Amino acid sequence: MHMQLWSATLLIADVVKVFNPQSPQARAIFDLAIVAIVVMGIIFAVVVGIVAYALLRFPRWREGERDPEQGAGNKKIEIVWTAIPLLIVTVLFVLSARTMGISDPPPPPNPDIVVTGHQWWWEARYLKSGATVANEIHIPVGKALALRLDAADVLHEFWVPELGRKMTTVPGHPNHIWIQADKPGTYLGFCSEFCGTQHAWMHVLVVAEPQEEFQKWEQAQLVAAASPTGGNAQKGLALFQQMSCVNCHAIKGTSATAQVGPDLTHFASRKKIGAGIVDNTPSNLRRWLRDPQEVKVGVKMPNFKFTDEQVSDLADYMETLK
Ligand code: CUA
């Protein structure tokens, strides 16, 4: 029950975000939506008005009363009620086509970022620098970046409501969108196509920051992880490399290079764990390592049944991955 209430709250939050456009693309969509809502509001008012008038004016059929005059085949009426909807649909079509031109110009041959949807997290690779991150995408403020959208397994849909349209990610069929933010800030994105158990917890944070800070962040992502030289963290690194962690995860600067799960090189600098399901705190990290299934039911990472000591060593190591 509590979870349902929580989901409903999230759903309302999504809808509200649509009405808070923070990029030229999102604003174009918002403006079109307002026009459509007003037009539909007028149609609704006219239809309800006519029905209400008829109900009040002619409340009941009376004995002996003649049928009202029949209008079948009246050319004038037929033409008017065909022309008005045709006009409305044509105007909305033209406005929609114009909005698509603003919100979705053709992509450049080389995208800035390749975003891949996985069950249930987002991978982002910055093509020029080679930085690879998960569930947290940084962009420079005021600059449109071209995204290529891929999927590793099933259909997903990338959507950051405040920054623009949504776009499906299809395995083997890249799609494109542009992403831009007018103001610095953190924008919450979702997967908006049902993709399995944890579809609802496939969040992505888009962090828009001034160019200089963005460059600093991007450079930091390229730095390999330092190897701890002692203590529990060193034991944690050894454990990470011995256990099957390395079959899924990569940490630059270690022997782990797999690309199945999120790249963990700068795990400790991320705000969230499990694509948004919990904050990245020391206690949540330990909960996750003890049993990921308890935190995020159905997540692809199994319960490794680590001992308390192993959990503690691994967590100490992962906290060094700034
Ligand atoms: Cu991925 Cu829904």
In this predicted structure, what is the pLDDT of residue 12?
Answer: 66
Q: Which of 248, 260, 265 is nearest to 304 (CA)?
A: 248
DSSP codes, 87-132: HHHHHHHHHHHHHHHHH-PPPPSS-SEEEEEETTEEEEEETTT--E
Quick one: which atom of ligand 1 is closest to the CA of 202? 1
Query: What is the pLDDT confidence band of residue 322, given thresholds at 50, 70 and 90?
Result: confident
Of the listed ranges 37-41, 227-231, 277-281, the one predicted with least confidence? 227-231
Report the separation in Å between the CA atom of 118 and the middle of ligand 1, taken as the mean of its atom positions. Answer: 8
Both tokens assigned to 220 = 């930091």
Residue 45 has pLDDT above 90, yes or no: yes
Report the separation in Å between the CA atom of 59 and the middle of ligand 1, taken as the mean of its atom positions. Answer: 52
In this predicted structure, what is the pLDDT of residue 67?
Answer: 80
Report the separation in Å between the CA atom of 202 and the middle of ligand 1, taken as the mean of its atom positions. Answer: 6
In this predicted structure, what is the pLDDT of residue 68?
Answer: 78
Atom 1 of ligand 1, nearest CA residue: 156
In this predicted structure, what is the pLDDT of residue 198?
Answer: 94
Residue 1 has pLDDT above 70, yes or no: no
Residue 66 has pLDDT above 90, yes or no: no
Q: Taking residues 291-311, what's their average pLDDT?
A: 91
In this predicted structure, what is the pLDDT of residue 11?
Answer: 65
Question: What does the alpha-carbon distance between residue 301 and residue 92 come to, in Å, rounded to a whole number?
Answer: 47
Report the separation in Å between the CA atom of 237 and the middle of ligand 1, taken as the mean of its atom positions. Answer: 32
Quick one: which atom of ligand 1 is closest to the CA of 196? 2
Quick one: which atom of ligand 1 is closest to the CA of 200? 2
Q: Name the average pLDDT for the chain.
A: 90
Quick one: which atom of ligand 1 is closest to the CA of 119? 1
Quick one: which atom of ligand 1 is closest to the CA of 169? 1
Residue 3 has pLDDT above 70, yes or no: no
Of the listed ranges 105-109, 118-122, 188-192, 261-265, the one predicted with least confidence? 105-109
Quick one: which atom of ligand 1 is closest to the CA of 120? 1
Residue 283 has pLDDT above 80, yes or no: yes
Report the separation in Å between the CA atom of 194 and the middle of ligand 1, taken as the mean of its atom positions. Answer: 5
State what percent of residues in the chain have pLDDT above 90. 66
Quick one: which atom of ligand 1 is closest to the CA of 199? 2
Report the separation in Å between the CA atom of 99 and the middle of ligand 1, taken as the mean of its atom positions. Answer: 26
Name which residue leads in pLDDT, 59 or 167. Answer: 167
Neighbours of 227 (CB within 10 A): 13
SS3 state of residue 208: strand
Both tokens assigned to 145 = 């970046």
Domains of the chain with bracketed CATH: 11-61+71-202 (2.60.40.420), 231-318 (2.60.40.420)
Query: What is the pLDDT confidence band of residue 2, given thresholds at 50, 70 and 90?
Result: low
Q: Taking residues 14-43, what's their average pLDDT?
A: 89
Residue 4 has pLDDT above 70, yes or no: no
In this predicted structure, what is the pLDDT of residue 109?
Answer: 84
Q: Taking residues 187-207, what's their average pLDDT?
A: 94
In this predicted structure, what is the pLDDT of residue 22?
Answer: 92
Both tokens assigned to 134 = 């998960």
Q: Residue 170's Cα: distance from chain center in Å?
A: 15
State what percent of residues in the chain have pLDDT above 70. 95
Query: What is the pLDDT confidence band of residue 138, given thresholds at 50, 70 and 90?
Result: very high
Report the separation in Å between the CA atom of 172 and the middle of ligand 1, taken as the mean of its atom positions. Answer: 16
Report the separation in Å between the CA atom of 199 and the middle of ligand 1, taken as the mean of its atom positions. Answer: 4
Report the separation in Å between the CA atom of 205 and the middle of ligand 1, taken as the mean of its atom positions. Answer: 15
SS3 state of residue 246: helix
Cβ pair 46, 54 in contact under 8 A? no
Q: What is the pLDDT of residues 85-95, one digit of tens each?
A: 999 999 999 99
Question: What does the alpha-carbon distance between residue 224 and residue 127 come to, in Å, rounded to a whole number?
Answer: 17
Of the listed ranges 98-107, 149-158, 197-206, 220-229, the one predicted with least confidence? 98-107
Cα separation of the two ends of the chain: 37
Q: Taking residues 38-67, what's their average pLDDT?
A: 90
In this predicted structure, what is the pLDDT of residue 10?
Answer: 64
Both tokens assigned to 198 = 């944890």
Report the separation in Å between the CA atom of 271 and the middle of ligand 1, taken as the mean of its atom positions. Answer: 20
In this predicted structure, what is the pLDDT of residue 13?
Answer: 61
In this predicted structure, what is the pLDDT of residue 253?
Answer: 87
Quick one: which atom of ligand 1 is closest to the CA of 193? 2
In this predicted structure, what is the pLDDT of residue 190?
Answer: 92
Instruction: List ligand 1's pocket residues with C-beta within 6 A.
Output: 117, 120, 156, 191, 193-195, 199, 202
Q: What is the pLDDT of residues 145-179, one digit of tens each?
A: 999 999 999 999 999 999 988 999 999 999 999 99
In this structure, is the dihedral angle defined by the CA atoms of residues 308, 312, 318 and 319, taken in order, positive or negative? positive
